[in-house]
A and B are shown apart, each in its own frame.
Chain A
Amino acid sequence: MTARTTRLDAGVRGALRAVGAAAKKGLGDPGLAELVQIRASQLNHCAFCLDMHLAIAREDGVVREAQLDLLNAWEEAGDDVFDARERAALELTEAVTVLTDGFVPDEVYERAARHFDAARLAHLVALITVINSWNRLMVARRIPPGSTEW
């Protein structure tokens, strides 16, 4: 594969990290944060982000292995694998990620709003948004998984 630019302005990197840190903190659920970030990275086909967030999820032990295995088919996985709150978050992640197919449906938004209060929901939306930004920065520049130069 042809190499692409590895440049990224330090101010951009720092500010996006700050957005992510604030979003994660406000969500207050490290396991769900990783599930959401891995799911968005699957949809956006970001190898770098998948590699990074799967490693974090495993090393920190914040996500069960069964959830990582079945995340790509979470709708068909049983309620014992993903509970209603996680499902609502994953459904919102998909709608916000695949935006060009058309908006975020009311029923998807409302299901999420039933499980997350306004503050947590705002931070969940922010986290989905941030990982979508990282996915774009890494895929566009074709940063290989595990790379330390980005």
Chain B
Amino acid sequence: MSTTETNTTYAAEPPVRLEWARHAPEVYKAMVRLDSAARKGLDATLYELVKIRASQLNRCAFCLDMHTKDALAAGESVERIVQLGAWEESRHFYTEKELAAIELTEAVTVLTDGFVPDEVYERAAKRFEEPELAQLIAAIAVINAWNRFGVTCRMTPGHYTPGQRA
């Protein structure tokens, strides 16, 4: 710890609300199967960007902890992770394909505001062939599911080690 950090007192870590995986082990097992089914055929770098962006929108601290660490461990740059929160203004950090995926992620995540616009879907359809597009949509739905477990059960961020879930 550096000298500037020595005197810093952080807020207390909030307790977990509900250890859902312990109380619903069958659900958890099926969720793990779902996750591996959804990532099949998707580029790993792109997948982490999608997971991070959805977790930002859903404000899932636990998922952000996990996926930023996994992305960094896989060689993703700090810059691209940081800029993801303002990707519309930092498009030149990403490929057109990544941008289409990020835009689709936002539309599918913020669903209560109303559907997935045609132009967003079509931009994604232009960059992703059919089987990959279906996997991308599945992957977005799945990270949204993990976000819901993480936020509702108030799973605690900060304890994840990259590769832990593999």
Contacts and interface: CB of A to CB of B under 8 A. Distances in A.
B31 to A, nearest CB: 6
A32 B98 CA distance: 40
B152 interface: yes
Interface string B142-166: 1011011101110000000000000
B25 to A, nearest CB: 9
B94 interface: no
B111 interface: yes
B11 interface: no
A130 B133 CA distance: 20
A122 B109 CA distance: 22
A126 B41 CA distance: 26
Given A96-B148, A122-B23, A12 B34 contact: yes
Contacts of B149: 125-126, 129
A133 B151 CA distance: 15
B144 A133 contact: yes
The SS class assigned to the A binding surface is: helix
A122 B142 contact: no
Contacts, number: 158
Interface stretch (A13-21, A54-62, A70-78, A80-88): A13-21
Range class of the A interface residue count:
35 or more
B121 interface: yes
B145 A5 contact: no
The SS class assigned to the B binding surface is: helix
Interface residues of B, number: 50
Interface of B: 17-20, 23-24, 26-27, 30-31, 33-34, 37-38, 40, 57-59, 104, 107-112, 114-116, 118, 121-122, 125, 130-131, 133-135, 137-138, 140-142, 144-145, 147-149, 151-153
Given A132-B144, A136-B141, A140-B137, 15 more contacts: A4-B121, A5-B130, A7-B133, A8-B138, A45-B115, A96-B151, A96-B152, A99-B147, A103-B59, A122-B20, A125-B20, A136-B140, A139-B108, A140-B104, A140-B107
Interface of A: 2, 4-5, 7-9, 11-12, 14-16, 18-19, 22-23, 25-26, 43-45, 92, 95-100, 102-104, 109, 113, 118-119, 121-123, 125-126, 128-130, 132-133, 135-137, 139-142
